[in-house]
């Protein structure tokens, strides 16, 4: 790769072996001495110097254990982020295992039991098959009344056979200029 500095605008560009521009900083066409443009090998513009991105402003983990037939939750308060007028973007992942173990789901995990039977009428024969939620786990962000953000991991162990532990990982993001 070869780096050059054109005389006009003082921008710096990086070209690949085929003389195709891949990166430019201080593009005078954008009108910002610090703008950056990055292009993929197929010449798709990845960063154009004027678009915003989502910056991770907080991340962390939560875990909670609840008994059979119980509902429970745990919440982390994030006052250090300041206050917001709207809930910031949050990506949450829930899992039945820590680190690299257990299935991982974005936002919610539902475990259903298909072999549940109920009666169609009061006192009737218990022969009607239904699908029932066994456990449900969710992770969500909330904007409190004072404008601070909280993240909650909630577990509903409706018909689970015993205690369960669920784990959550969250990433709170805010739109930011490059």
Q: What is the DSSP string of 4-26?
A: E--SSTT-EEEE-TTS-EEEEES
Residue 91 has a CB neighbour count (10 Å cut-off) of 16
C-alpha 71/C-alpha 152 separation (Å) is: 13
List pLDDT tens digits, range 67-117.
Answer: 988 999 999 999 999 888 888 899 999 998 776 677 888 888 888 777 788
Hey, CA dihedral for 25, 28, 29, 30, is it positive or negative? positive
Please answer whether residues 12 and 24 qualify as being in contact, where contact means their C-beta atoms are separated by less than 8 angstroms: yes
Instruction: Map residue 168 onto helix, strand or coil.
Output: strand
List pLDDT tens digits, range 1-16.
Answer: 454 545 455 667 777 7
Identify the pLDDT of residue 3: 46
Give the residue extent of every domain in the chain: 2-50, 54-177
Identify the pLDDT of residue 92: 94
In terms of average pLDDT, the best of 37-46, 114-123, 144-153, 157-166 is: 144-153
The DSSP output letter for 59 is: E
Q: Which residues, listed in sequence order, are joined to residue 113 by a DSSP beta bridge?
A: 132
């Amino acid at each position: 790769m070869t780096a050059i500095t054109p005389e006009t605008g003082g921008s710096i560009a990086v070209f690949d072996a085929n003389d195709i521009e891949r990166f430019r900083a201080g593009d005078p066409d954008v009108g910002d001495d610090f703008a950056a443009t990055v292009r993929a090998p197929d010449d798709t513009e990845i960063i154009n110097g004027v678009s915003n991105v989502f910056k991770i402003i907080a991340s962390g983990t939560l875990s909670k254990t609840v008994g059979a037939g119980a509902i429970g939750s745990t919440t982390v308060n994030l006052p250090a982020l300041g206050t917001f007028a709207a809930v910031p973007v949050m990506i949450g992942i829930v899992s039945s295992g820590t680190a690299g173990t257990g299935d991982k789901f974005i936002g919610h995990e539902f475990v259903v039991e298909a072999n549940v039977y109920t009666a169609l009428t009061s006192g009737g024969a218990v022969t009607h098959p239904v699908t029932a939620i066994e456990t449900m786990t969710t992770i969500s962000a909330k904007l409190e009344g004072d404008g601070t953000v909280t993240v909650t991991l909630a577990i509903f162990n409706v018909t689970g056979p015993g205690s369960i532990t669920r784990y959550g990982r969250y990433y709170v993001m805010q739109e930011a200029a490059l």
